[in-house]
Amino acid sequence: MSFSKDDKDLKVSVTETSSLLPPVSVSSNNETTYSSIEQNSQIKNGNGSNPRSGHRQKHKQVGKEPIAEDILEHAMVDAYESVISDNDHENEDEETRWLRQERLGHKTLKWYRRPSLFMIASVMFFASFSSGISMSARLELLLQLFCKKLLFENNGDTQTFMEIDIRRCNKSQVQVELSQLQGAINISGALVAILLSGKICESSDIYGRKIIILYGAFLTFLSKLAVSSLISPSVDRFHPWLIILASLIDSIGGGGAVFFGMCNSYITDVVEDHMRIYSMGIVIANMFMAMAIGPILGSLLVKFTKSNIFVIYIDVCMTFAYVLFIFFVLPESRSTNARAKSRRNSMAVDEDRRERFQKKRRYYYDKFITEINIFTSLKNIWLPITQQDGSKSYKPRISVILLLLIDTCLTSGTVCAGQILILYGTFKFDWTSVEMGYYMTLNAAAKVIVLLFFSPYFLHQLKKKFKIETKKVDKADITCIIFCITTDILGALIVTFAGSSKVFISSCFLHCFSTLASPTIHFAIIKYSSTEKTGAIFGAITTLKSLINLVMPASFLYLYSKTVDVEPRVTFYVVLGILTLSLILAIILTSSSDTIKKTPDYEQSEQSPHLRRRSISSLQLQKEQRERLHRFMASRRESSCSLNSGNSSVGSIVLPTSPIKSIHIRANSTIGTNMQPSR
């Protein structure tokens, strides 16, 4: 066997392959035996089938005589593939390996015991359906109670509270009172969520996702039960401050922000990286599907029963049912090993605090301050400085900050201003609970269509056109974000200048595309962090969203209450400005994104000391291996020396030294002679 001049570096004796390249033998009946190699390939694939073994089947056909040249080629390909398979996971930390092994273990479970996208999507559907069915009825009851309250304060001596005729209400004044109540609920709820949401999400890394979801769902049930007793038409007085206190019960559990964070964390645990955006889209689609069915069903129930409170009671019962579903059915997604590791790390931090503060009083004081400090969780999204070509690089940090700013603008311009759309519809077009239900149903249905049908096609086209990155935000992410912002701006223009109810409702068909932005941004941020901190990262995002919910909805409602009598569209002008700012930030993001090249400081901030691993470029290693293999195969095909010459020849090949040192393959031209790697 001969080699070309370029392959002299390949002619090195190989000495250590007992685990990587097992014996290959050719039996006397001319049938090639690949026992150990086939077993190794099966183990690498995690199952009993080897997708790369198709090229070997030709030797097992009757009448086909294998030649030593093919045996050598197959042995080399197996060795090369084994090296590639090992190097694919060489940069994995312990948490990532556990996550991969856990996903493989889930496949052996029955569907109702398996943590899956179906399970978390079902929880989202139950939660959204129970809230959506009573949304318009709850708003209608609050409008009636505020109307009675205002009339009772003026005519309290002549009429009882229940006998007041609400047709004599001042609609503008009722709108002001209701918007102020919504603002107070948002501010108080956001304050509580800011203090608790980050720690709640971070606790899911220690105690699991299920227990946190169950905790929030149970508090939501208690909150709805309390509110239903306060807004009943049979009450003889209406106290808005009690509504605020009842709503705070839900905020103690983190509210919707923590629930979304847990859904993101659950999906990260059970879904592969390239499917996360689409999977979160499925979960959000279930939410909007439930909100599309819920309001219209609630409107029909109100229409046939002539009772708004009846729908409120149905909401309470359904919420209790989905609490039972979480407790008895929803499987835990985070592995036992991962939870134990997070618990050990938490105990290590606590022990370090004890060592730093010898006095017991000082220790508990520092622990209390750390727990209530909202900026503690935000440190998880403040990336360390990285290294690029020997110099410091701020690009990863800037990219994450820009992504968070874009998410802030989109949340402010869409979610936080969503309450104004309903209030504006009741003021401008005299909507009742029936029209509000139809609007919310159409809005949710349009978003479901986008997430279930448009999203897969759109994301597939982006993946075909752009290179998908796993360590930084890529052009596919940025293109999706810019597209969502653009359609949102067009929808806001229609809302602002709509002259009829039909034109106003048609804005739903443009606003619906913006639902892709939030999961794209969140999972782009996750690319810059390790899997060990998934719950902590989403906890930081949740804390930031709670800060937004503290400021923006109250600001919009306050602005609307001050301008509704003069120019009610002023709030929409502000929304247009915020969305335009997000578009500018997305354009800046195209030139700021960069991959993380970890420095020792970054390693220390991301992992515990006993889990630090060396960082190498596996892609470059794979490229070198392919080039070496292709050069060798080309030289062997062009060689004039045949292995069938009757004399034994030895070909010594060198593959890269990681994770093996070298490989020595002895190819004998005599069929039936065993080929063994040298020890």
Task: Tell me the pLDDT tens digit for each residue of 345-390.
Answer: 778 877 776 666 666 666 666 666 766 666 777 777 777 776 666 5
Confidence tier at 224 by pLDDT (50, 70, 90)? very high
Higher pLDDT, 25 or 625: 625
Residue 106 pLDDT exceeds 80: no
Rounded Cα distance between 546 and 64, Å, is 70
Look up the pTM and report it: 0.62
**399's tokens:** 């990219």
Range with lowest mean pLDDT among 87-91, 131-135, 469-473, 556-560: 87-91
> What is the per-residue pLDDT across 627-677, written as a single tens digit (0 to 9) for each?
666 666 666 666 644 444 444 444 444 444 444 333 444 434 333 434 444
Rounded Cα distance between 580 and 477, Å, is 18
Residue 20 pLDDT exceeds 50: no
Rounded Cα distance between 612 and 360, Å, is 32
Domains by residue range for the chain, with CATH:
5-90+617-667 (no CATH), 97-109+116-603 (1.20.1250.20)
Range with lowest mean pLDDT among 56-70, 280-294, 515-529, 605-619: 605-619
Q: Do 257 and 93 contact (CB within 8 A), yes or no?
A: no
Confidence tier at 326 by pLDDT (50, 70, 90)? very high
Torsion, Cα 93 95 100 103, to 10 degrees, reads: 180
Q: For position 325, what pLDDT does the model report?
A: 93
Q: Over pLDDT 90: what percentage of the chain?
A: 13
Higher pLDDT, 597 or 229: 229
> What is the per-residue pLDDT across 257-279, written as a single tens digit (0 to 9) for each?
888 888 888 988 888 777 888 88
Q: For position 432, what pLDDT does the model report?
A: 77
Q: For position 655, what pLDDT does the model report?
A: 42
b/e code 97-106 from CB counts within 10 Å (16+ = b): ebbeebbeeb
Higher pLDDT, 403 or 234: 403
Confidence tier at 328 by pLDDT (50, 70, 90)? very high
Rounded Cα distance between 82 and 52, Å, is 11
CA distances to 73, 74, 633 from 54, rounded to whole Å, are 14, 11, 19
Higher pLDDT, 436 or 181: 181
Range with lowest mean pLDDT among 104-113, 266-275, 542-551, 655-664: 655-664
Q: Do 434 and 303 contact (CB within 8 A), yes or no?
A: yes
Residue 609 pLDDT exceeds 50: no
Confidence tier at 14 by pLDDT (50, 70, 90)? very low
> What is the per-residue pLDDT across 306-320, written as a single tens digit (0 to 9) for each?
888 899 999 999 999
Q: For position 480, what pLDDT does the model report?
A: 92
Residue 164 pLDDT exceeds 50: yes
Torsion, Cα 114 116 119 122, to 10 degrees, reads: -160
Q: For position 201, what pLDDT does the model report?
A: 84
Task: Work out whether strand 32-33 and strand 386-388 pair parallel, antiparallel, or are unpaired.
Answer: unpaired
Q: For position 598, what pLDDT does the model report?
A: 40
Q: Do 440 and 132 contact (CB within 8 A), yes or no?
A: yes
Q: For position 662, what pLDDT does the model report?
A: 39
Residue 151 pLDDT exceeds 70: yes
Sequence-ordered alpha helix ranges (H) in 373-516: 375-378, 395-410, 418-428, 433-449, 455-465, 475-497, 501-506, 508-511
Q: For position 22, what pLDDT does the model report?
A: 41
Residue 107 pLDDT exceeds 80: no
Residue 39 pLDDT exceeds 50: no
Q: For position 614, what pLDDT does the model report?
A: 36
Range with lowest mean pLDDT among 46-60, 99-113, 166-180: 46-60
Q: For position 292, what pLDDT does the model report?
A: 76
- Residue range 152-172: mean pLDDT, rounded: 64
Range with lowest mean pLDDT among 164-168, 597-601, 626-630, 635-639: 597-601
Q: Which residue has the tokens 């600001």?
A: 555
Higher pLDDT, 629 or 143: 143
Q: For position 235, what pLDDT does the model report?
A: 80
Confidence tier at 112 by pLDDT (50, 70, 90)? confident
Range with lowest mean pLDDT among 42-56, 64-78, 167-181, 514-528: 42-56
Higher pLDDT, 66 or 372: 372
Going by C-alpha positions, the residue among 321, 340, 301, 374 that lies closest to residue 208 is 340
Q: Which residues contact 234 (CB under 8 A, 6 or more apart)?
A: 162
Q: What is the mean pLDDT of the chain?
A: 72
Q: For position 530, what pLDDT does the model report?
A: 67
CA distances to 126, 454, 561, 586 from 385, rounded to whole Å, are 43, 38, 45, 22
Q: For position 197, what pLDDT does the model report?
A: 81
Confidence tier at 441 by pLDDT (50, 70, 90)? confident
Confidence tier at 158 by pLDDT (50, 70, 90)? low
DSSP secondary structure string for all residues of 293-354: HHHHHHHHHHHHH--HHHHHHHHHHHHHHHHHHHHHTPPP-S-HHHHHHHHHHHHHHHHHHH
Confidence tier at 522 by pLDDT (50, 70, 90)? confident
Q: For position 640, what pLDDT does the model report?
A: 47
b/e code 27-53 from CB counts within 10 Å (16+ = b): eeeeebebeebbebbeebeeeeebeeb
Higher pLDDT, 486 or 412: 486
